[in-house]
Structure 1
Amino acid sequence: MLSENDYPIFLGSEIEQPKPEDAFFHVLPIPYEETVSYGGGTGKGPAAILEASWQLETFDNFSSPSELGIYTRSPVNVSGPPEQVMENIANATREILEAGKMPVGIGGEHSVTWGVIKGYLDAGIQDFGVVQIDAHADLRDRYEGEKHSHASVMRLVVEAGVPLYQLGIRAYCEEEMQARKQYGVRHLDAHELVPNNVQSIELPEDFPSKVFFTLDVDGIDPSVFPSTGTPVPGGLGWYQTLNLFESVARQRQIIGVDLLEFAPIEGFHAYDFAAAQLLYKLMGIIQRNRAVKQG
């Protein structure tokens, strides 16, 4: 099944596209690719993930996240200058939130997360934090002269006063180290997580009770996801990533997620499927922890 813009809907081989009001998860494709600085292809990521999701089972080995309803929205208009694109993303995110639903963003380069976070702020949601899995800190003031860069997105988040906790980082510059100190960014980097096989974390007591989780696929080791523009060795494993996410979901209320920087490799469908499965696994973790908190 296709959306009105000829995009495949998430899990479209197994489920009908529900009415927006009947779905908890609202999948938002954001095929933006403008500031990538090494390999390209992230603009094709959303369509590849949605198409590959047709090969998923509705049961994720623990539950069926689709039972909460998954509505695939039309892709965000990503034409125009970066400021306008961010506004378009923010407006789409705000609409989802004002309908009482959960945004599930699919990028696109990581710069789009600022548009998503701006949507939360525009919707009047203030008391929340961001947890980030990534290879890169993304805390530069600007990169190659651009403020709305994939390398600067988390700087915009912390400048807006949103607390940030970083996981799996293993590539950053001195400017970003200083930004961590300046903005009080807490972190557990890859050299702490990976050699020690850390499977769960404890967020600081003063970290907000609501969390938006942003997952750059390059945070996962390139042996799992070579399909990204800026791969860095020494990343998280598949189950480690899921377990870290679940440890956050147990402690806090997840209010949204996005999956970024997936750049499909032609002819290698395993990576497309892995990205689709990863996104669905995150939905399953959210579903089960939501049931526990409500029950």
Structure 2
Amino acid sequence: MSNAMNTDYPIFLGSEIDQPDPDNAMFHVLPVPFEKTVSYGGGTGKGPSAILDASWQLEEWDGKSKPCDAGIYTCEPVDCSVDAATVIDNIATATAKIVRHGAMPVVLGGEHTVTYGVLKGLIEAGLDDFGIVQIDAHADLRQAYEGDLLSHASVMKRAVDMGIPLYQLGIRAFCEEEMAFRKEFGVLYEDADDLVPNNKQTIQLPDDFPQKVFFTLDIDGMDPSVFPSTGTPVPGGLGWYQTLNLFESVANQREIIGFDIMEFAPIEGFHAYDFAASMLTYKLMGIVQRQRS
């Protein structure tokens, strides 16, 4: 089997593994290089290829297990050359296909709007009873931003509009509209000003939160000292181990049905951040693999 799809999008961990049959892989990595509504720095469209390329420098052993033993299949990248609504549909179709394979989508963005397409795909595939846990610097709960309903700043508003319960972690930049919406629709949250100074490593989901969880991780949810490589950095974010531990605390309580890594914008010449984003992706796979086994 080939260890690369093309020069821009090699398979994840392709230096160590061959591309498996999609039916024999727990994880399906879906690159989505979509970048349209970024409102500060750019570059998120280059995130997926940078993460995949850096994954060739990873060890199979993640420190606790070998996530690749569960099978990692890398999908062809989603076509993002069309209008935004069509891109969302393309993402949904690709995500639904992954779920129908019995696999877990691991989606690499791209701006956070990508998550809206992923959620639509999960629902199209029949997963209509799940919640979202979000790590982010921003609430992303605006009705629209700069007149765009599909803005990256509105993606969680679209999710709540779909009736999906939401639990937000690490938020530290929001507007009054978003605060009011949180209260009106019962959005759960533990913001950075509590999580970070108190060094909280776990959360407790309420009993009535859905048993299946999709986890969306915006790179800017982590502190810029860890990841300056994002378009909208905000100080006071989560640390490396805190992020992993919070994810694991959710995985210990619920079934993770998929996750994404959004808003990673590579900085040319600083490959340490590409590697860190790739390692983060693999570490999250490892947490899921160990929980399931």
Write out aligned runs for 1:95-174 (5 A).
95-174=97-176
Superposed CA deviations along residues 114-158 of structure 1, whole A, max 9, x for unmatched, are 000000111121110000000000000000111111000000000
Question: For residue 17 of structure 2, what is the amino acid of its counterpart?
Answer: I
Task: Find the aligned partners of 2:278 and 2:207 in 1 and give their Cα distance.
Answer: 33
Query: Structure 1 residue 6: deviation in Å?
Result: 5.0
Question: For residue 188 of structure 1, what is the amino acid of its counterpart?
Answer: E
Match of 1:237 in 2: 239
Task: Find the aligned partners of 1:151 and 1:45 in 2 and give their Cα distance.
Answer: 18
Question: For residue 168 of structure 2, what is the amino acid of its counterpart?
Answer: Q
Query: Structure 1 residue 22: deviation in Å?
Result: 1.2
Task: Find the aligned partners of 1:4 and 1:206 in 2 and give their Cα distance.
Answer: 45
Counterpart among 82, 87, 90 of residue 88 in structure 1:
90
Question: For residue 168 of structure 1, what is the amino acid of its counterpart?
Answer: G
Query: Structure 1 residue 5: deviation in Å?
Result: 7.5
Counterpart among 44, 55, 58 of residue 57 in structure 2:
55
Match of 1:31 in 2: 33
Q: Is 1:16 matched up with 2:18? A: yes
Task: Find the aligned partners of 1:268 and 1:228 in 2 and give their Cα distance.
Answer: 13
Write out aligned runs for 1:201-280 (5 A).
201-280=203-282
Query: Structure 1 residue 178: deviation in Å?
Result: 1.0
Does the residue aligned with 1:152 lie in a helix, a strand or coil? helix
Does the residue aligned with 2:210 lie in a helix, a strand or coil? coil
The change in CA–CA distance for 1:275 and 1:249 in structure 2 (over 3 A counts) is: same
Task: Find the aligned partners of 1:183 and 1:89 in 2 and give their Cα distance.
Answer: 27
Question: For residue 71 of structure 1, what is the amino acid of its counterpart?
Answer: Y
Q: Which moved more, 1:31-40 or 1:174-183?
A: 174-183
Does the residue aligned with 2:153 lie in a helix, a strand or coil? coil
Superposed CA deviations along residues 195-242 of structure 1, whole A, max 9, x for unmatched, are 000000000111000000000000000000000000000000000000
Query: Structure 1 residue 20: deviation in Å?
Result: 0.9
Identity %: 69
Task: Find the aligned partners of 1:139 and 1:52 in 2 and give their Cα distance.
Answer: 32
Query: Structure 1 residue 4: deviation in Å?
Result: 5.3
Task: Find the aligned partners of 2:206 and 2:180 in 1 and give their Cα distance.
Answer: 21
CA RMSD of aligned residues (A): 0.8
In the alignment, is the contact (CA less than 8 A) between 1:4 and 1:74 conserved in 2? Answer: no
For these two proteins, the number of residue pairs brought into alignment is 291
Does the residue aligned with 1:130 lie in a helix, a strand or coil? strand
Query: Structure 1 residue 99: deviation in Å?
Result: 1.2
Q: Which moved more, 1:80-89 or 1:167-176?
A: 80-89
In the alignment, is the contact (CA less than 8 A) between 2:8 and 2:49 conserved in 1? Answer: no
Question: For residue 149 of structure 1, what is the amino acid of its counterpart?
Answer: S
Task: Find the aligned partners of 2:24 and 2:9 in 1 and give their Cα distance.
Answer: 20
Query: Structure 1 residue 33: deviation in Å?
Result: 0.2
Question: For residue 95 of structure 2, what is the amino acid of its counterpart?
Answer: T
Does the residue aligned with 2:167 lie in a helix, a strand or coil? strand
Superposed CA deviations along residues 77-132 of structure 1, whole A, max 9, x for unmatched, are 11222111100000000000111110000000000000000001111211100000
Task: Find the aligned partners of 1:124 and 1:245 in 2 and give their Cα distance.
Answer: 24
Q: Which residues of structure 2 form unaligned runs of 5+?
A: none
TM-score, length basis structure 2: 0.98
Match of 2:177 in 1: 175
In the alignment, is the contact (CA less than 8 A) between 1:5 and 1:74 conserved in 2? Answer: no
Query: Structure 1 residue 19: deviation in Å?
Result: 1.1
Task: Find the aligned partners of 2:91 and 2:101 in 1 and give their Cα distance.
Answer: 16
TM-score, length basis structure 1: 0.98
Superposed CA deviations along residues 38-68 of structure 1, whole A, max 9, x for unmatched, are 0000000000000000000000010000000
